Structure 1
Amino acid sequence: MNLADRLQAAAERLGGRAVLTLDEAELTYGALEELSARLAGLLRCRGIGAGDRVAIMLPNVPEFGVVYYGVLRVGAVVVPLDPLLKRREIAAYLGDCGARLLIAWHAFAETAEAGSSGTKADCFFVVPEEFRRVLRGVPAEREIVSMAPGDTAVIHYTSGTTGRPKGIELTHANLGGNAATVARMHALGVDDVVLGALPLYHTFGQTCSLNATVQAGARLTLLRRFEAGRALEVIRRDGVTVFQGVPTMFIALLDHPGASDMSMLRVCASGGAALPLDVLRAYETRFGCEIVEGYGLSETSPVSATNRGGRHRRPGSIGWPIRGVEMRVVDEEGRETPTGEIGEIVVRGPNVMKGYWNDPEATAEAVRDGWFHTGDLGRVDEDGYFFLVDRRRDVIIRGGYTVYPREVEEVLYEHPAVRQAAVIGVPHPELGEEIEAVVALRAPVSAGDLRDFVRERVAAYKYPRHVSFVDELPMSATGKILKRALTRPAPSPR
């Protein structure tokens, strides 16, 4: 099997239908198949074949699909990189995976060239009209290289928020199976239009937007970057039926004055981070569109669990495992915890990564007896619904008491003045850690009022003694709040 087979099959059925659009730019299934075959021909001319790593540094543009499927077509491995990476980051990733080629967007040429200098990677820059002209002069590679299900298709690098970034090896079976499951769960079809607001270089956007769209024969309408007003414009202009996003996107839409009824959306799916329950309720009340929350990590391709729509949904939960996937909550010794008790979420199934690139020790630590240890804390209720409690590394120990930041954040989001909230532990000489809330506001409120608001709703040891205000919380490119950027160092000895 080869992921590129999905595109070829769709092109045979739907050649003249649009698959990727960006404002006025459009690629049909037939054109995407033809251009990706020519990109494969270009790679062949450069001596690139099965197993070689090709890095892609492209924004959300139709050319991403051309390059992505073209690289897979020759059996090479896609290494997607954030286009906003700096020189030393690019050099580190290219050096680690031994990439033969870096295909980058023309606007990032200077940084890409500097980053690739000193590595084994040559550079090729994508300039839209020039790109198509070059490909027209290259013979198309009609044959798609046959790959084994366990062969690596993509290496995704972790964000590095917990230490040195690691390359996550995802196979053709991992990604193909997960995309097919997403397409089936959302009942995607040829008449659906999916909003491409998620970065395509990330596994969430790649699997749930790009690959699932192609699997279903639907259309993906792209946004280069998410901005609430622009997203609303595209949703209405293009008749979007499926919106997949991260919590910060739903919060931004709630804050936008031009947002109104969006009941035309058939599916709203949230992932990437926990969605505050108060945000979910406010969004659904205001817009008349149900949000289905799911769960996964890059290491799980990414979807592991999700709510189903209608009566099968349990707001506040991440649902239950997708078909073929098992999930459990375990204690420190790996024993399954009783119903309702908090432990680590572990995952087993065809979505679990092959391993970390060239890092057998990290792989053995993460995957034990076939179970991937997520580092996320959760619980399971009597009906089998999973609830995400927090990241293990984010838990605060205050004077011997355990505080789960997400619980406090949920309370903060209930306050009408709070737009974004992060709760972190800061060093304290007697208690070990003290609780601090870092908040971005949509309306004026004092630190004291917020502190009192939380104190009235949680146990005395849980409320934040410190409240600080920022204009915006630091975010990753995929919409996750970067708590490490907020954590204060230990105070100097007096």
Structure 2
Amino acid sequence: MTVAAQLAGRNPDSPAVESGTERWTAADLLAAVRRAADGLETIRGPVAIVLADARSQLVWALAADLAGATAAVLDARWPDRQRSSALAAIQPSTVVQDDGPVPHAGGGVEGRGWIAFTSGSTGLPGCVWRTPESWADSFAPFTTLLGLRAYDRVLVPGSLSSSLSAFAALHTLAAGGCAVLLPRWDAGRAPRVDVAHLVPSMLRDLVDQPEAAPPRVAVVGGATLDPDLEDRVCRRWPRLRLVQYYGSSEQSFVTARASGDPGTVGTAFPGVEITIRDDQGRVLSPGTPGQIWTTSPYAAECELTPEQSEGTGLPRGPRPPAGGNALQPAVGHPGPAERAHRVGRAAEQAADVIARPGGPLSVKDRGVLDADGVLTLLGRERIVTGGSTVEPATVEAVLRELAGVREAVVVGLPHPRLGELVTAVLDADAVALRTARAHVRERLSPAQRPRRWYTATPMPRTLSGKPARGEVSVAVRAGQLPRLQ
């Protein structure tokens, strides 16, 4: 069932979307979706949506789904190089811009689906294709986790080009709620809502606002929630239900928790199996750090990459079967193992973002799974310095304990003798180098302690609100950031 069909079954006068001062009922939204879908009836390939307005993004995404096509919401703020790379990977039949839908060359996947974007290790957006069911099947357990009620007002910040925001909006509508769209985050102007989807930096901004009204439920994704921030939130708003989940565009949900175990990302999301493996793909025992692998009904089908062409140098990954309904390919709907195989097969031929040892899927995040199945996230990149391996996430968590530190990013800088130097970049108010060094001496081993210290105020962030780790690393190497004194 499409989200549009679910809208048709709702009370037509029930609130469905708010954006600024505009308010649409379910009937208003459904009418707009049907009008847009009328222009897509003959479309067979993907519909690329390049619009700045979040409500328009939502309308056209639902229209593509209603018309039986795959929707891909691009961020209108992307520079030309990123947009061109995304379009080359998607190969849309139609591009929707401010002046309406425009025919495009086509050639991409046919049938209903969703194309989600990842940050990509090359600086260009990565694309993964998923079936509608890969998200819809997680709606019911996610509704239970949140305690979401029909008619709840749910804050959805940012562009729907972010998987976090897109999922939040679609889940809200499917559950009978009202999606409150907020394209640009401003904690001082955040509307009063029942449920708020946030990344940790947004939650920090909100709790720092003296007049902020808490939601009933705060849903945190996109990055690990610091125990100190969690403690601040719970002390200020003891009745607030704080839900954290961990996942990726490729895997969708991996873990979740609603209480307890601060500093972790919780236990396996319903239906997901998690293993921790070493670099050779061998399963590790509880308590041993390694790469996180999942077998899941919610995973993406495959990765889409631009065709090899002169001037791009980028390979092309395999595509889902064309023709018919993407939900029912000729060989039957793939299970988790086949889905992981397709995604992993694309990764073998394309950018090394995701991998596959024998079926399960990984995005190369690292973590530790304890005997009770609770996962602690260690991040993705390890720093090897003087023969010791350092997990940046561990160092960053200690740095965020310092008073005045809003954000911390730890990267490795090349060093001729040690291999890499542990380097800290802080977004902070008046933190003295002497104080910072004294703090890490008490909390970290010698190998983990940063050797170089820099400041970045404000910290560069991705469009979804997470620290832009790659941008920070480039700025440090280029000498563009001031040293901490």
Q: Into which bin does the TM-score normalised by the smaller protein fall? A: 0.7 to 0.9
Q: Establish whether residue 325 from structure 1 lines up as the match of residue 272 from structure 2.
A: yes
Question: CA 1:182/1:105 → structure 2, altered by over 3 Å: closer, same or farther?
Answer: farther
Deviation of 1:62 after TM superposition, in Å, equals: 2.3
CA–CA distance in structure 1, aligned partners of residues 241 and 437 of structure 2: 32
CA–CA distance in structure 2, aligned partners of residues 321 and 205 of structure 1: 22
1:461-481: per-residue Cα shift (whole Å, max 9, x none)? Answer: 211121111211111111121
Residue 317 of structure 2 is matched in structure 1 by: 359
Residue 135 of structure 1 is matched in structure 2 by: none
| 8 Å CA contact 2:460, 2:471 repeated in 1 | yes
| 8 Å CA contact 2:47, 2:71 repeated in 1 | yes
Alignment of 1:38-77 (within 5 A): 38-44=35-41, 47-49=42-44, 52-59=45-52, 61-77=54-70
For these two proteins, the number of residue pairs brought into alignment is 432
| 8 Å CA contact 1:59, 1:200 repeated in 2 | no
Residue 267 of structure 1 is matched in structure 2 by: 217
CA–CA distance in structure 2, aligned partners of residues 26 and 489 of structure 1: 47
CA–CA distance in structure 2, aligned partners of residues 164 and 64 of structure 1: 21
Residue 304 of structure 1 is matched in structure 2 by: 254
CA–CA distance in structure 1, aligned partners of residues 177 and 398 of structure 2: 39
1:436-477: per-residue Cα shift (whole Å, max 9, x none)? Answer: 110111x31212221221122111221112111121111111
Question: CA 1:24/1:202 → structure 2, altered by over 3 Å: closer, same or farther?
Answer: same
Deviation of 1:422 after TM superposition, in Å, equals: 0.6
Q: Secondary structure in 2 aligned to 1:408?
A: helix
CA–CA distance in structure 2, aligned partners of residues 60 and 325 of structure 1: 34
Q: Aligned to 1:434, which of 413, 418, 421?
A: 421
Q: Establish whether residue 384 from structure 1 lines up as the match of residue 352 from structure 2.
A: no
Q: Establish whether residue 156 from structure 1 lines up as the match of residue 120 from structure 2.
A: no
Q: Secondary structure in 2 aligned to 1:373?
A: coil
Residue 15 of structure 2 is matched in structure 1 by: 18
* Unaligned residue ranges in structure 2 (runs of 5+): 305-315, 319-344, 349-353, 480-485
Residue 282 of structure 2 is matched in structure 1 by: 335
State the AA in 2 paired with 1:397: V
Q: Secondary structure in 2 aligned to 1:37?
A: helix
Deviation of 1:58 after TM superposition, in Å, equals: 2.8
CA–CA distance in structure 2, aligned partners of residues 165 and 192 of structure 1: 33
State the AA in 2 paired with 1:62: R
Alignment of 1:130-145 (within 5 A): none
State the AA in 2 paired with 1:94: L
State the AA in 1 paired with 2:368: R
| 8 Å CA contact 1:347, 1:374 repeated in 2 | no
1:1-51: per-residue Cα shift (whole Å, max 9, x none)? Answer: x5x2x332333232111110113211211221222112111122xx313xx
Residue 481 of structure 1 is matched in structure 2 by: 467
Q: Secondary structure in 2 aligned to 1:427?
A: strand
Deviation of 1:164 after TM superposition, in Å, equals: 5.0
Residue 199 of structure 2 is matched in structure 1 by: 246
Residue 180 of structure 1 is matched in structure 2 by: 140
| 8 Å CA contact 2:54, 2:159 repeated in 1 | no
Higher helix share: 1
| 8 Å CA contact 1:325, 1:348 repeated in 2 | yes
1:132-168: per-residue Cα shift (whole Å, max 9, x none)? Answer: xxxxxxxxxxxxxxxxxx9551112322235654320
Q: Secondary structure in 1 aligned to 2:173?
A: helix
Residue 98 of structure 1 is matched in structure 2 by: 91
Question: Structure 1-normalised TM-score?
Answer: 0.82
State the AA in 1 paired with 2:73: P
| 8 Å CA contact 1:151, 1:172 repeated in 2 | no
Question: CA 1:490/1:444 → structure 2, altered by over 3 Å: closer, same or farther?
Answer: closer
Q: Secondary structure in 1 aligned to 2:271?
A: coil
Q: Secondary structure in 1 aligned to 2:185?
A: coil
Question: Structure 2-normalised TM-score?
Answer: 0.83
Q: Secondary structure in 2 aligned to 1:333?
A: coil
State the AA in 1 paired with 2:437: R
Question: CA 1:299/1:101 → structure 2, altered by over 3 Å: closer, same or farther?
Answer: same
Residue 194 of structure 1 is matched in structure 2 by: 154
| 8 Å CA contact 1:183, 1:215 repeated in 2 | no
| 8 Å CA contact 1:12, 1:30 repeated in 2 | no
Residue 32 of structure 2 is matched in structure 1 by: 35
Q: Which moved more, 1:342-351 or 1:11-20?
A: 11-20
Residue 446 of structure 1 is matched in structure 2 by: 432
CA–CA distance in structure 2, aligned partners of residues 349 and 172 of structure 1: 15
Residue 483 of structure 2 is matched in structure 1 by: none
Deviation of 1:105 after TM superposition, in Å, equals: 4.3
CA–CA distance in structure 1, aligned partners of residues 205 and 164 of structure 2: 19
When the two chains are superposed, the root-mean-square deviation of aligned CA atoms in Å is 2.4
Residue 243 of structure 2 is matched in structure 1 by: 292
- Aligned-pair identity (%): 29
Residue 322 of structure 2 is matched in structure 1 by: none
| 8 Å CA contact 1:14, 1:217 repeated in 2 | no
Question: CA 1:162/1:384 → structure 2, altered by over 3 Å: closer, same or farther?
Answer: farther
Q: Aligned to 2:126, which of 166, 170, 184?
A: 166
CA–CA distance in structure 2, aligned partners of residues 290 and 33 of structure 1: 31
Q: Secondary structure in 2 aligned to 1:30?
A: helix
Q: Aligned to 1:223, which of 154, 178, 182?
A: 182
Alignment of 1:118-133 (within 5 A): 120=105
Q: Establish whether residue 405 from structure 1 lines up as the match of residue 363 from structure 2.
A: no
1:249-274: per-residue Cα shift (whole Å, max 9, x none)? Answer: 11222333444x62xx2211111111
Question: CA 1:161/1:60 → structure 2, altered by over 3 Å: closer, same or farther?
Answer: farther
1:406-462: per-residue Cα shift (whole Å, max 9, x none)? Answer: 111111111111111111111112111111110111x31212221221122111221
Residue 280 of structure 1 is matched in structure 2 by: 230
| 8 Å CA contact 1:100, 1:120 repeated in 2 | yes
| 8 Å CA contact 1:278, 1:410 repeated in 2 | no
Residue 309 of structure 2 is matched in structure 1 by: none
CA–CA distance in structure 2, aligned partners of residues 60 and 219 of structure 1: 17
Q: Secondary structure in 2 aligned to 1:293?
A: strand
Question: CA 1:474/1:27 → structure 2, altered by over 3 Å: closer, same or farther?
Answer: same
